[in-house]
Amino acid sequence: MREHFGRLPGGAAVDLITMHGDGVEVSAMTYGATIVSLRTPDRHGRVVDIALGFDTLAAYVGQRAYIGGAIGRYANRIGRASIEIDGTSHALTANEGRNHLHGGDRGFDKHVWTAELLRPGGAEGVVFSRVSPAGEEGYPGNLRVSVRYLLRRRTLEIDYTAVTDAPTHVNLTQHTYFDLSGGSSPDVLDHLVRIAAARFTPVDAELIPTGEIASVDETPFDFRAPARMGSRINAAHQQLTNGRGYDHNWVLDDASLPAARVVDPRTRRTLELSTSAPGLQFYSGNQLDGTLVGIGGRRYVRHSGFCLEPQHFPDTPHHPQFPSTRLNPGETYQSRTTLTFGVE
């Protein structure tokens, strides 16, 4: 279903597309290819929204927490807001101190995308598309990019595709904040988290990777067995100090396995994530400070939601030992993530 959601200050119309599955409903809008709501049942069959969001388009335009948006050209951070390609330096927008975050001041989450509705084999979906022109936020190359959301029963498939006419760097992800309690708990720290990763990439005080790939053994970053999100978040560990909690990239063990699984112990809702990406950024909502007022007047305070952001590693252009994010003409960037919603 497609309906009008509002107009931007410049007058551009924004549409909302709603997809229906087996007891699951997902709504996404053309502004930012943003997931606006994600409704799933709990163990008693009660269906509520488990994604943080806002009642109005204006609230999305005004927020800087990237709530629900498609992130590009480069998800996460690039140190010193610059990249070098074939000996040429390209200055990117510095929008987090001296560094570049989530595509800059006006990344992919702050543009209106075109939308094409899909109904393959009983599933419901939408393909969002746009052209990011050469020079946007400092990036070289005209980039044609699409994000496809397809809801099959209780699984949301997210497919990213991009092509360029000049060498550039691309790293796309999705930035929904989840609260599997649907707002019935004050925060998400009781959620049980499992991440299939034996290593992670430590960061400095500016949250830029140091280049090290470190073991999670005997650290608060070991989620190979399910653990409460908040059980070690205040541990005396320099990486938790740097991130004010979890805001780190895990190096995934095996793309053929689910990368992460989260359970809310009260509603018993589950979220299982699989991805073709080499990394997963787990963010525990550390920067939410109560200034954003969401759906139904709920204030989003610290740890009101968590993000699972499949991606290439942050700051890869400065770390040749990381899997490359370079995209050349004639190549196609492709990445897939699936989110499966269930009940224990």
Q: Which residues are catalytic?
A: 175, 309
User: What one-character-per-residue DSSP string does 263-331 give?
Assistant: E-TTT-EEEEEEESSSEEEEE--TT--S--B-GGG-B--TTS-BEEEEESPTTGGG-TTSPP-EE-TT-
How many angstroms from the chain centroid is the CA of residue 8? 23
2: left (phi over 0), alpha (psi -120 to 50) or beta: beta
Query: What residues pair up with 279 in beta bridges, in sequence order?
Result: 251, 311
- How far is residue 311 CA from its own chain's centroid? 8
- How many angstroms separate the CA atoms of 59 and 61, rounded? 5
H helix runs in the chain, sequence order: 57-62, 238-243
Count of CA atoms in the C-beta half-sphere (13 A) of 20: 4
